[in-house]
Amino acid sequence: MQQQIPSNNRSQNGLNMNHGGHELLDVHQVLSCAVNTLDQFMIFRQFVQDQELLDILDRQYNFMLSQYNLTAECFKTGQEPNQKTATYMIKQVTQPVYGIKQTQPTKPNQSLADVKDAGICDYMQGLVKSHASLLTMSAAEVTNPVVRRVLASQIQQFIEMSYEIFMYQNKHGYYQVPQFDTADMQKMLNMYAPAAGTPQMPEPNKAALH
């Protein structure tokens, strides 16, 4: 869909000016965070030992790079990017494993030789979650309709990437999921009920309406 830019949104030299102040600052932060995440994924790659984790890292890196490129393009031009926003596909969805098992306590690494897959996927998870949050907050500040759509469309994709990393962590015991006992869980599930009938909304303050 081609976005039409009114003439008063362009300066005399033809540069795109249809961005708000908050938008400029927030999208700068989004792009800076994307660059940082990509660079760190590249650094992580040399420490990965498991082929499955390496496959996740490479696929997520390539997807994030493509989304960075189209975000930078539409932010600069204010127009639809040449590349369409994409959907990130998880290779295989697995059922979570619930419960806590005794493991060795975690502590800071003493050297680079201590860097293991458990830590790498945890770093990846933190970066992807942070970027999903930043995209969500930033999209709400964007006035340019194209940039807003491009940022908003990426939120779900980063959630999917986060869940893919979680499944890997959970399967290998790096991310354990505690549960309430059955009785407490049932109580929590029954704490809310759907609203029934038509709410009786109060009349508006007519004196305040113009």
Q: 10 Å Cβ neighbour count for 156?
A: 13
- The separation between CA 115 and the C-alpha centre of its own chain, rounded to angstroms, equals 25
* CA dist., res. 110 & res. 60, Å (int): 28
Q: What is the DSSP secondary structure assignment for residue 71, as one 8-state letter?
A: H
pLDDT digit string (tens) for 107-164? 999 999 999 999 999 999 999 999 999 999 999 999 999 999 999 999 999 999 999 9
What pLDDT is stored for residue 17 in this prediction? 61
- Which domains does the chain possess? 15-91+115-174 (1.20.1260.10)
Q: Residue 7, SS3?
A: helix
Q: Mean pLDDT for the chain? A: 90
**Which whole-number Å values give the CA distances from 124 to 93, 118, 163, in the listed order?**
18, 10, 11
**pTM, full prediction:** 0.86
| Share above pLDDT 90 across residues of the chain, in percent, rounded to a whole number | 73
- Show the CA angle centred on residue 44, arms to residues 39 and 46, nearest 5°: 115
